[in-house]
Structure 1
Amino acid sequence: MKNYLKKVFNNNNLLYTMLSNIYHKFITFLYYLLRIFRIKSEKIVFCSYYGNGYSDNAKYIAQEIINQKLKYDMVWLLRKELINDNDIPKEIRIVKYGSLRAIYEMVTAGIWIDNARKEYYVRKRAKQYYIQTWHGTPLKKIEKDAGKKLTDNYHKNSIYDSKNINLLLSGNEYSTRILKNCFWYDGKILESGMPRNDIFYDDYNIINKKVKNILGLKNEKIIFFAPTFRNDIEKNGLNQLEELNIKSLLIEFEKYYLNDCILLVRFHPNVANKINLQELECRYGNKILNVSEYPDMQELLSISDVLITDYSSAFFDFSLLKRPIFLFMQDYDEYKEERGVYLDINDIPLYIVKSSSELLEGIKSMNEEEMIKRSEKFLEYLGNKERGVATLEVINWINKVICNG
Structure 2
Amino acid sequence: MLLSVVVPVHRAQGYLRATLESVLGRGPGGLELLVVDDGSRDGSARIAAEFAARDPRVRVLTLPEHRGAGPARNAGADGARGRYLLFLDGDDLLRPGALEAIGDRLAGSEPDVLLLGHDHIDWWGDVRSPAPAPGAPAPGADGLRAGALSVGTPRLFRRAFWTAHGLRFTDGPYEDVLPVLRAALLASDAGTLDALDRICVRHRIRRSGTFATTPGRHHFAILEAYERLLAATGRDPRIRAARTRHLRAVLADPGRIAPGDRAAFHRAAALPGSYPGHRAREAARTGRVLARAALRRRKKTVRARVMRAAYRADLHRPLDPDLAVYGAYWNRGVACNPAAIHAKALELAPHIRGVWAVSSRHLDRVPPGIPYVIEGSRAYWRAMATATYLINNSSFPGGFTKRPGQRYLQTHHGTPLKTMGLDQRAYPALTNGISFERIVAHADQWDFSLSANPHTTEIWDRVYPSRYEHLNLGYPRNDIFFTATPEQVAAIRQRLSLDPGRTVLLYAPTHRDYRKGFVPHLDLDRLTRELGPQYVVLVRAHYFYGRSAGLDSSRVVDVTAHPSVEELCLVSDALITDYSSLMFDYACLDRPIISHTPDWAAYRASRGTYFDLLSGRPGDTPGAVATTEDELLELFRTGEWRSARTAELRAAFRARFCPYDDGHAAERVVRRLFLSDGA
Aligned-residue offset at 1:280: 1.8
Match 1:225 to one of 507, 517, 534: 507
Query: After superposition, what is the alpha-carbon deviation per residue over 1:293-318, rounded to whole angstroms, capped at 9, x for unaligned?
Result: 00111111122101000010011111
Q: Give the Cα separation in 2 of the matches to 1:384 and 1:292.
A: 29
The match for 1:400 is 675
Equivalent AA in structure 1 for residue 476 of structure 2: P
The match for 1:8 is none
3-state SS of 2:380 partner:
helix
Match 1:188 to one of 455, 460, 469: 469
The match for 2:33 is none
Q: Give the Cα separation in 2 of the matches to 1:19 and 1:166.
A: 28
Segment of structure 1 superposing worse, 334-343 or 355-364: 355-364
Equivalent AA in structure 1 for residue 362 of structure 2: L
Q: Given that residues 305 and 323 in structure 1 are in contact (C-alpha distance below 8 angstroms), is that contact kept between their aligned partners in structure 2? A: yes
The question of 1:357 aligning with 2:635 is answered no
Q: Give the Cα separation in 2 of the matches to 1:206 and 1:102.
A: 39
Match 1:86 to one of 365, 369, 372: 365
Match 1:44 to one of 324, 330, 350: 324
Q: Give the Cα separation in 2 of the matches to 1:87 and 1:28.
A: 27
Aligned-residue offset at 1:20: 8.0
Equivalent AA in structure 2 for residue 132 of structure 1: Q
CA-atom RMSD, angstroms? 2.4
Q: Given that residues 245 and 356 in structure 1 are in contact (C-alpha distance below 8 angstroms), is that contact kept between their aligned partners in structure 2? A: no
Q: Given that residues 479 and 665 in structure 2 are in contact (C-alpha distance below 8 angstroms), is that contact kept between their aligned partners in structure 1? A: yes
Aligned-residue offset at 1:250: 2.1
3-state SS of 2:443 partner:
helix
Structure 2: gaps of 5 or more residues: 1-297
The match for 2:304 is 24
The match for 2:491 is 210
Aligned-residue offset at 1:375: 1.3
Aligned-residue offset at 1:358: 1.3
Segment of structure 1 superposing worse, 66-75 or 40-49: 66-75
Equivalent AA in structure 2 for residue 313 of structure 1: S
Query: After superposition, what is the alpha-carbon deviation per residue over 1:120-165, rounded to whole angstroms, capped at 9, x for unaligned?
Result: 6311101000000001001111111111333465311111111110
The match for 1:133 is 411
When normalised by structure 2's length, the TM-score is 0.52
Q: Give the Cα separation in 2 of the matches to 1:95 and 1:235.
A: 30
3-state SS of 1:44 partner:
strand
Aligned-residue offset at 1:272: 4.3
Q: Given that residues 307 and 318 in structure 1 are in contact (C-alpha distance below 8 angstroms), is that contact kept between their aligned partners in structure 2? A: yes
Q: Give the Cα separation in 1 of the matches to 2:366 and 2:376.
A: 20
3-state SS of 2:504 partner:
strand
3-state SS of 1:241 partner:
coil
Equivalent AA in structure 1 for residue 352 of structure 2: Y
Match 1:293 to one of 561, 572, 587: 561
When normalised by structure 1's length, the TM-score is 0.85
Aligned-residue offset at 1:70: 1.1
Q: Give the Cα separation in 1 of the matches to 2:393 and 2:381.
A: 18
Q: Give the Cα separation in 1 of the matches to 2:344 and 2:482.
A: 15
Structure 1 residues 300 and 328: CA distance shift in structure 2, 3 A: same
Q: Give the Cα separation in 2 of the matches to 1:243 and 1:355.
A: 13
Query: After superposition, what is the alpha-carbon deviation per residue over 1:196-228, rounded to whole angstroms, capped at 9, x for unaligned?
Result: 011110133133123212212221221010011
The match for 1:116 is 394
3-state SS of 1:318 partner:
helix
Count, aligned residues: 370
Would you tell me which structure has more helix in proportion to its own residues? 1
The question of 1:341 aligning with 2:619 is answered no
Segment of structure 1 superposing worse, 328-337 or 263-272: 263-272
Q: Give the Cα separation in 2 of the matches to 1:224 and 1:383.
A: 20
Structure 1 residues 196 and 232: CA distance shift in structure 2, 3 A: same
The match for 1:384 is 659
The match for 2:377 is 99
Q: Given that residues 193 and 386 in structure 1 are in contact (C-alpha distance below 8 angstroms), is that contact kept between their aligned partners in structure 2? A: yes
Match 1:372 to one of 647, 655, 663: 647
> Based on CA coordinates, which of the two structures has the bigger radius of gyration?
2
Structure 1 residues 249 and 190: CA distance shift in structure 2, 3 A: farther
The match for 1:304 is 572
Equivalent AA in structure 2 for residue 26 of structure 1: V
Structure 1: gaps of 5 or more residues: 1-17, 255-259
Query: After superposition, what is the alpha-carbon deviation per residue over 1:2-49, rounded to whole angstroms, capped at 9, x for unaligned?
Result: xxxxxxxxxxxxxxxx99823312313443431221100110000111
Q: Percent identity over the alignment?
A: 25
The match for 2:357 is 77
Bigger relative contact order (CA 8 A; separation at least 6): 1
